Structure 1
Amino acid sequence: MEKRITQLLLFVGVCLLTTLGCFAQTKITGIVTESRIKNPLVGVSVRVKGTVAGTITDAKGQFAITTTAPVPLTLSISSVGFQTREIAVDKQSDLRIELSEQVLLGQEVVVSASRVEESVMKSPVSVEKMDIRAIQSAPAATFYDALLNLKGVDMSTQSLMFRSVNVRGFSANGNSRVVQLVDGMDNQAPGLNFSVGNIAGMSELDVESVELLPGAASALYGPNAVNGLLLMTSKNPFQYQGLSAYAKTGIMSASNRSSTTTPFYDAGFRYAKAFNNRLAFKLSASYISATDWQATDTRDQGFANGFTLENGNRQNNPGYDGINSYGDASANLNAFQSTVAQLLPVPAAQIALISPDLARIIGGVNQLSAATKIPATQIINDVLLPNVTVSRTGYTESQLVNYKVSSLKLNGALHYRINDNLEAILQANWGTGTTGYTGQDRFYIKGFSIGQYKAELRGSNFFVRGYTTQERSGDSFSIGLLGQGINEAWKPSLDQSNLVGSWFPQYAFAYAGGALQTFSTALQQALATNPATAYQTALNAVNAVSGNLHTAARTSADQGRFLPGTPEFNQALATVTGRPLPGSLPNLGAKFLDKTSLYHGEFMYNFTKLIDPETLELIVGGSVRQYALNSGGTIFALDETNKEYRINEYGGYAQASKTVAEILKLTGSVRYDKNQNFKGQFSPRLSAVLTLAKIHNFRASFQRGFRIPTAQAQYIDLNTPTSHLIGGLPLFRQKYNFTSNPVYTLESVRAFGAALQGGTALPQAAQSLQPYQPKEWEPERVETYEIGYKGLIKNRLFIDAYYYYNRFLNFEGAEVVIQGAQPATLANPASLQQLISGTTRTVYSFYVNAPVQVKNHGWAVSADYVLPGNFVIGGNVAFNDLANRGSLPSGFVTFFNSPKYRYNLSLANRNIRGSGFGFNVVFRHQDSFIWESSFANTEATLRQQTKIPAFGSLDAQINKRIPGLKSVVKVGGTNVLGKLYTQAWGNPSVGGMYYISLTFDELMNR
């Protein structure tokens, strides 16, 4: 695949070079000044429209362009914060051009919606844009964080370094439903199949614009863009030259952290230079270091033994499973009957002989009638080893993780203009960092790196590019597996060859011994007063002290446990994090070994130069892609040759648009994509934009998107503390013998366990079990209907609104099933008991299609108004809802994690009365909502407890431009009121962040 992409680029390049001819040249010079005070403007972009030719003004505001484009031609003159002008030139000229400073409302040009430049007002679908000026004035620590201020955007903060962008409801900590492109390159980590925020993206100094396209975009951008597209474009070194740099520092403060207040440091630079308007290069780097936000949620999400989030804790619930507690593997005491019997001085059947009084109550001495005889097995179930879940003592996240995080980004590009219509680009983006992430487990992404390397030929009406993404996991590890691995390194949970030295048997034996002593004493006393109720009286006595019995059992089993900070603990931590995951009991490993790569080639051609655009605008394009999985067999399954799989995809698209009577724009597009493991998919889109009175734009569209299951969804084969994650392909059902050793749905196993705990006999309780019936797994498809409006009223009020309705076909969600260690069949009820104990069962989690359609809908409205003095007041509100949650199977995880309502309110002024001072204040609020994921317990009866609370947050900044130093000083803060909030289940709590920065740009105007 890599060779094919390289050969394609070379072939196209040679063909283009051999067709180059000699053309007449036109030289254009001029000066650009500010219209009000006539000062020269430096760094203004001057571009020949319809070509790649262009330059920038120098320190005196002067420019010179030599072009082969025939006259008459049009120059496009633009600069951040100034009105863009287009000037017709019909001969060699010496021009004097004035630009006016302006507040931009609805004037942006976007490319993401149609893959061609168009006014944001006439975009056929919803699109949001942040340009350089918006980025500079955002009240956020980084441009990426500022995306949260756009309407309809959810962000999941998993770390200071890692935020996931989510739109239209379906949210995840690692979101594979939103495609993130950096200069046309898919920025996903190939082994994870989602973008790790901007940890390996671009430096803020090199960002020209960010466009967000909410909703399906598969018709032009292919698989996975079913919920949105984030398009980040860097600065071209021909247009943005010179040196720029910034330094930022401040403090982070949160009351739940080990050190409440800690500093952070952030710095970067960018340098670009062009030679003779033919050759240009740029280099940029940025680095940030901080102590991260911390995940310290100690609530009990195990919901075991009747406890809930609100009342469960380690002191009162022996089966406690803290949200941010790790290594607390669990099992049912009742499952250790035979184990404890081996450790007792007499066999289980002879327990009745331990005391004469106990013997009488069982019936060994026939003092009671047959109706009151108590079997020995009931004594074991009721007294010695009741149906109670117990868990090992875990470790908190702060005991397992060093919260020092960092990110280093290095970017470089070389641009060469072969002629006015063709530019060659070699580009490299490399980033490394340490951060946190919440998926099926909590993960510590340590020393993780992504390198993206691109070769591209770009013309005024086409591009051909090939790139590769190289992911390296560094020293990343699973925090949950680490906690469990340290416990196993100290003492195995269950070792059949060494029961005395195993934690669960020790716990069970200690509990049974204490319970037996309490029971016997109470029984002897009760027999003397009322033999008929003696058994229940003695049982009540045991239940009354069960908490103490569990505490004593835990103390006994935990003797010698590795304590954080001790040499033994540190050695075990180093061993487990240095061992590839998952290992096997007791030698668990937590380290990721992932060197997965992606290879991608694509092209697009716009027929504008061959077809009159007033008649029809037509573009075509296509792509090929390969994922080369490489985890050393630790994450992904191996094929029959003991190698990891490669996944091949290809696709092509075409789009035609037509403007009728200058008021109606019609657009139609279609794309076809094929993945080797699934049937081909067609993705059409139809849209219309009607413009009335030149200011009112009404739009309507229908489009179909689809999502090819991720590489992990297809081929993952990984054990985690909560479940064994496997791919959804049929090969896994064969590998793990789903036919000969049946698997049962999680909900039915929970019902089975509850029935047994409630006293139902085993054969009757077994009727609750439902064997899982596999079905064909297909790519998820969505049909989206959308209407919208954009209007600019009196150049002061800008309104943007939309409503959408989604209908998902073959919606992809998670299925959890249970399999016994030995075949557990309905024909053998005794074999089914192993399904309810963590030590005798396997929990599998894999992706499946929902048996019913999933439907959601929503709307959003934003309004910005320019007040006198160029103060801008704005606000937006968004609504998202899963329309038919109640029709989905109980326990089906949709990952629809979104508040119904969220809104933002803002007030800003870029340059108050020409003083150079500016400010921006944003208040954000979102409702509470239920969180669904494989990390949270999402059993239907418990979903109302897995709730993310509502919160509001205030961000603010004030800045001062210093023209003499070509610099801007910025002081600001995010969540300045300091109230902690969490955006996803198990994620860290976010506090206040306060900063001061100094940015220098030698081409800065005003």
Structure 2
Amino acid sequence: MKQLHCLCVALVLFTLTSTVAFAQSSTTVSGSVTNNKTKEALSAVSVTIKGGTAGTFTDDKGNFKFTTTQKPPFTLIISSVGYAPKEVAFDGSTVSVGLETNFVLGEEVVVAASRVPERILESPVSIERISSANIRQSPATNYYDIVGNLKGVDVTTSSLTFKTISTRGFNSSGNLRLNQIMDGMDNQAPGLNFAVGSIIGLTELDVDNVELLAGASSALYGPGGMNGTLLINSKNPFKYQGLSFQIKTGVNHIDGKQRDPAAFNDWNVRWAQKISEKWAFKIGASFTQATDWVGNDKRNFQTAAGGDRTTGQVIAGDRSDPAYDGVNVYGDETNFSAFPAGLNTFKTFAQNAVAPLFPGPYQPALANIIASIPATQNVSRTGYDEKDVISPLTVNVKLTGALHYKITDNLEASIAANYGIGNTVYTGLGRYSLKNFRIGQYKFELKSKNWYVRAYTTQEDAGDSYNASAATQYFNEKVKPSSVWFGQYTQAYLTNRLGGASDAMAHAAARAVADAGRPTGNLLDNPIFNQVISTPISKGGGLFVDKTSLYMYEGQYNLTDALGLAKSGTEFLVGGNYKEYRLNSEGTLFADTAGKIKIAETGVYGQLSQKVFNDVLKLTVSGRYDKNENFAGRFTPRASAVIKVAENQNIRVSYQQAYRFPSTQNQWIKLNVGAATLLGGLPQLRNYVFGSAPVYDVRTNAPATFGEFKPETATSYEIGYKGLIGKKLLLDVYGYTASYDNFIGGTNVYQIVGGAAKVYQVSTNSTGKVTTRGYGVSLDYLLPQNFTIGANFYSDEISDIPTGFVTFFNTPKYRTNITFGNTGFGPDKRLGFSLVYRWQDSFYYEGTFGAGDLPSVITFDGQISYKFPATKSILKIGATNMFNRYYTNGFGNAQIGGLYYASFAFNVF
């Protein structure tokens, strides 16, 4: 904070001196811009001097004003997306301009594909874009949800406000193969390792655009860009000004199947103001409150050997099964496997620990009863449904702010802060209740036309978050230790069998005896459970403490102008970064009981582009080198070509490599989750934990061996076509193939400690290599009278899977989205509507929480809207999953129903 204070003081002093100098000789340019047909004021319209850099944007009332040292007469260029640009002669008088609408598909400019602005039609790789206009028109309760409608995108929904996006396979809750960058800042929680989606960061009213770069992108964006990069960009306060707010309210659980009908509220406000030609600021806030969806999959799950849920399976049976382990039932994971060798099955426990307690005359009968018990018979403790151990209240509060200062027409400085806090649910090895979870991101940036430098920090605090699965097991132990519970159960079982009861009746009676006095209902009202979830995992509770932070310093310079390369069609840029993680979990998540653990990474990159044959062909090569202090350095190249076959018709081909370093958890985690302890893969950590005692593989019982722990890699090839036909039809087609090596996964091993097996899941690289391939096609068509229709269809599949290899591919083979809407019809074209149809095929899902088949999904989203042009306001009524067909897109995740809402947004267009 001291450094930021010094920067602010320096900026103020610089402002005072530069303002005095600038005021000595300047010309004031002012005016207004309207829609030539409707006469309504147009905001965020660019007004610049032709051939120069001086300029500004119209405010929320359509007015503009700026000063320049250039003397009139000169020419102004007036431009805005959706309108034909116009040149206006300025002679010193006030300017009044009317613009003609001229919306053309494919005119968007994107940055993500090459780190430099370029038309989306000329991108060298597959890229998708969402504008602020798309956000206003889409039937969604949150701007982040709109990404799920894009071609090639998959969504995993852990809960109402925790959603993870993926492209080209390997979908999961907390995707580590896709970079998510919000205003230049990595949106990943540095300790928990998952991108936090829209939990923190930009409010809906402050989002300018979203760009999704599908496929490998490590060459420009570094570790993590295995399968894509998502860039979310905010509105600049110099361009988008005024007070805006949005009130959205609705209802979900309308059928009462999961919970009683409940209110949904989402409120947003943004205020941006240009104080002078030099200074502008913005502040924003959002508040979301709802009753969450719930995981209520009651199917019976059979864990594999060594407590491995990844290779487990759903089996027949319900709560009457003595070994019942419900998918979304917690606490029933505890069974006889926790007992020392010789007593770790129901049969051996009955024979060796309980039967000897009966008088001698019963022994012959007991021997026959025990002999009839199958050796595979297991018994689990009684668990609790998710609704009884996780609060249904979802709350999310976001605060944002930024101060911008124009040092010159070409150089802008800014200080920004994003802060978020709330409650949500995440699916990992268990279901995690993220309670009072908070993240703050704070950034200083200097940005010019051709270069930028920025420094930011991410501060994470897990708050009161807990692992619901582990917490419920610990709660059962506190209410009644397993040694007592299983003793009572087994004794009652044998007693009832001796009395002539059937096996099923004896098991039911035994559970009733062992569960006597067991708390029921909502455990969040139980003081013992609250004690458990308030106690750190390292001390036998469910709470995980995580105050990990990230510090990042990066810069980029486009040397094209400095080296005079533009005239020859050449473009050259370089960049680099330094980042440092500071792990701080107080021993509850990482092996950091002795203090914070630091991990440093350094990266540099460059890119060279060349246009040849009169701009018919553009060739680009990129390369990046990254070094993590715990791993060998990695170099990743990318090469691409864009061939112009006709005006607005381009073919693209590319070759890319990508990689990711093991995450902070992959490296240093040491977390007891009940059935096993998760352990990072660094050799120094393994040696510390295991010592000299032997370690065995749970599947083979052979001594475990660990190879070199190294980054995961991928190599990808892609070909595509994007073209605009007749200015009405935008067509995009792509196909790709990719191979992956050194998958980062887990190996289950055990040690004999105190006569019992202690299971560890150690982060390791798999030796198998797999191949993925896929294709996609999308079209957008402009119909008469402002009607639009769009459709996409895409497919991804995996092959060459070694026997027994778990890929976590988790992607339906086929998916499609179809949209239909109108941006303005009826009286004064004030009415609008949008419909979205979404379908995905059934598929087999593999996750650390469990694995099983997921059925196909069909959903319909829709909304109607009415505009109030005088106040630039919109009234909307809509619904997501409007037919309320519950679905799940990740094993063990929440079941998602319909949500119905109405909203009013002021000053938003």
Q: Same fold (TM over 0.5)?
A: yes
Which position in structure 2 is the counterpart of 1:463?
452
Structure 2: gaps of 5 or more residues: 306-311, 338-342
DSSP 3-state at the match of 1:144: helix
Separation (CA, whole Å) in 2 of partners of 1:5 and 1:782: 40
Change (3 A) 1:562 1:357: closer
Separation (CA, whole Å) in 1 of partners of 2:265 and 2:845: 33
DSSP 3-state at the match of 1:911: strand
Which position in structure 1 is the counterpart of 2:887?
981
On the 8 A contact 1:126/1:214 being kept in 2, the answer is yes
Q: Percent identity?
A: 42
Separation (CA, whole Å) in 1 of partners of 2:396 and 2:110: 30
Which position in structure 2 is the counterpart of 1:323?
327
The structure 2 residue matched to 1:894, chosen from 804, 807, 831, is: 807
On the 8 A contact 2:436/2:462 being kept in 1, the answer is yes
The structure 1 residue matched to 2:723, chosen from 761, 766, 791, is: 791
Which position in structure 2 is the counterpart of 1:548?
505
Look up the equivalent residue of 1:46 and give its one-letter code: V
Change (3 A) 1:843 1:624: same
Look up the equivalent residue of 2:171 and give its one-letter code: S
Which position in structure 1 is the counterpart of 2:799?
883
Look up the equivalent residue of 1:34 and give its one-letter code: N
Which position in structure 2 is the counterpart of 1:836?
none
Note the C-alpha offset of 1:733: 2.8
Look up the equivalent residue of 1:251 and give its one-letter code: V
Note the C-alpha offset of 1:774: 1.3
Look up the equivalent residue of 2:837 and give its one-letter code: F
5 Å-filtered alignment, 1:707-718, equals 707-718=660-671
DSSP 3-state at the match of 2:300: coil
On the 8 A contact 2:642/2:653 being kept in 1, the answer is yes
Residue 511 (str. 1) matches residue 511 (str. 2):
no
Note the C-alpha offset of 1:995: 0.7
Change (3 A) 1:727 1:14: farther
DSSP 3-state at the match of 1:509: helix
The structure 2 residue matched to 1:845, chosen from 755, 758, 761, is: 761
Q: Deviations over 1:78-100 (max 9, x none)?
A: 445x2262749798786554422
Which position in structure 2 is the counterpart of 1:313?
318
DSSP 3-state at the match of 1:161: coil
Which position in structure 2 is the counterpart of 1:558?
515
Look up the equivalent residue of 1:815 and give its one-letter code: T
Separation (CA, whole Å) in 2 of partners of 1:74 and 1:215: 43
Which position in structure 1 is the counterpart of 2:607?
655
Separation (CA, whole Å) in 1 of partners of 2:255 and 2:667: 41
Note the C-alpha offset of 1:309: 3.6
Deviates more, 1:181-190 or 1:961-970: 961-970
Q: Deviations over 1:452-497 (max 9, x none)?
A: 0001111111111000000111111111112112111111113xxx
Note the C-alpha offset of 1:402: 1.6
The structure 2 residue matched to 1:572, chosen from 522, 528, 536, is: 528
Separation (CA, whole Å) in 2 of partners of 1:421 and 1:861: 39
Q: Deviations over 1:344-375 (max 9, x none)?
A: 58589xx9x6469779xxxxxxxxxxxxxxxx
Separation (CA, whole Å) in 2 of partners of 1:247 and 1:804: 42
The structure 1 residue matched to 2:839, chosen from 906, 917, 925, is: 925
On the 8 A contact 2:86/2:99 being kept in 1, the answer is no
On the 8 A contact 2:246/2:903 being kept in 1, the answer is yes
Which position in structure 1 is the counterpart of 2:620?
667
Q: Deviations over 1:694-719 (max 9, x none)?
A: 12110001111110111011111001
5 Å-filtered alignment, 1:437-448, equals 437-448=426-437
**What's the Cα RMSD here?**
3.2
Which position in structure 1 is the counterpart of 2:741?
809
On the 8 A contact 2:78/2:88 being kept in 1, the answer is no
Which position in structure 2 is the counterpart of 1:834?
none
On the 8 A contact 2:354/2:490 being kept in 1, the answer is no
Separation (CA, whole Å) in 1 of partners of 2:504 and 2:431: 30
Look up the equivalent residue of 2:769 and give its one-letter code: Q
Look up the equivalent residue of 2:567 and give its one-letter code: E
Separation (CA, whole Å) in 1 of partners of 2:692 and 2:300: 35
Q: Deviations over 1:665-693 (max 9, x none)?
A: 11111110000000000111111101122
Judging by fraction of residues, say which structure has more strand: 2
Change (3 A) 1:127 1:13: farther
Separation (CA, whole Å) in 2 of partners of 1:15 and 1:688: 45
Note the C-alpha offset of 1:226: 1.0
Separation (CA, whole Å) in 2 of partners of 1:73 and 1:709: 57
5 Å-filtered alignment, 1:230-379, equals 230-253=230-253, 255=255, 257-302=257-302, 309=314, 311-315=316-320, 317-328=321-332, 329-331=334-336, 335=345, 346=356, 354=361
Change (3 A) 1:622 1:67: farther
Q: Deviations over 1:125-178 (max 9, x none)?
A: 111000111111001111111111111111111111111111111111111111
5 Å-filtered alignment, 1:175-254, equals 175-253=175-253
Separation (CA, whole Å) in 1 of partners of 2:654 and 2:302: 45
Change (3 A) 1:844 1:730: same
Separation (CA, whole Å) in 1 of partners of 2:49 and 2:601: 37
Note the C-alpha offset of 1:52: 7.1
Which position in structure 2 is the counterpart of 1:870?
786
The structure 2 residue matched to 1:407, chosen from 396, 401, 410, is: 396
Look up the equivalent residue of 1:651 and give its one-letter code: G
If the length of structure 1 is used for normalisation, what is the TM-score? Answer: 0.83
Which position in structure 2 is the counterpart of 1:777?
709
Note the C-alpha offset of 1:338: 7.2
Residue 952 (str. 1) matches residue 858 (str. 2):
yes
Which position in structure 1 is the counterpart of 2:66?
65
Look up the equivalent residue of 1:325 and give its one-letter code: V
Look up the equivalent residue of 1:920 and give its one-letter code: S
Residue 594 (str. 1) matches residue 546 (str. 2):
yes
Change (3 A) 1:394 1:355: closer
Note the C-alpha offset of 1:294: 1.1
The structure 1 residue matched to 2:770, chosen from 844, 848, 854, is: 854
Count matched residues.
891
Change (3 A) 1:274 1:11: closer
DSSP 3-state at the match of 1:980: coil
On the 8 A contact 1:449/1:472 being kept in 2, the answer is yes
Deviates more, 1:958-967 or 1:896-905: 958-967
Change (3 A) 1:223 1:255: same
Note the C-alpha offset of 1:965: 3.5
DSSP 3-state at the match of 1:209: strand
On the 8 A contact 1:256/1:989 being kept in 2, the answer is no
On the 8 A contact 2:187/2:197 being kept in 1, the answer is no
In our comparison, the structure showing a higher alpha carbon Rg is 1
5 Å-filtered alignment, 1:828-839, equals none
Separation (CA, whole Å) in 2 of partners of 1:674 and 1:196: 25
On the 8 A contact 1:5/1:601 being kept in 2, the answer is no
Note the C-alpha offset of 1:40: 4.5
On the 8 A contact 1:327/1:483 being kept in 2, the answer is yes
Change (3 A) 1:249 1:773: same
On the 8 A contact 1:170/1:898 being kept in 2, the answer is yes
The structure 1 residue matched to 2:658, chosen from 665, 681, 705, is: 705
Deviates more, 1:732-741 or 1:428-437: 732-741
Separation (CA, whole Å) in 2 of partners of 1:655 and 1:51: 27
Deviates more, 1:228-237 or 1:29-38: 29-38
Residue 906 (str. 1) matches residue 819 (str. 2):
yes
Separation (CA, whole Å) in 1 of partners of 2:660 and 2:51: 35
Separation (CA, whole Å) in 1 of partners of 2:73 and 2:300: 73
On the 8 A contact 1:341/1:347 being kept in 2, the answer is no
Change (3 A) 1:863 1:344: closer
Note the C-alpha offset of 1:12: 13
On the 8 A contact 2:659/2:712 being kept in 1, the answer is yes
DSSP 3-state at the match of 1:454: strand
Note the C-alpha offset of 1:644: 3.3
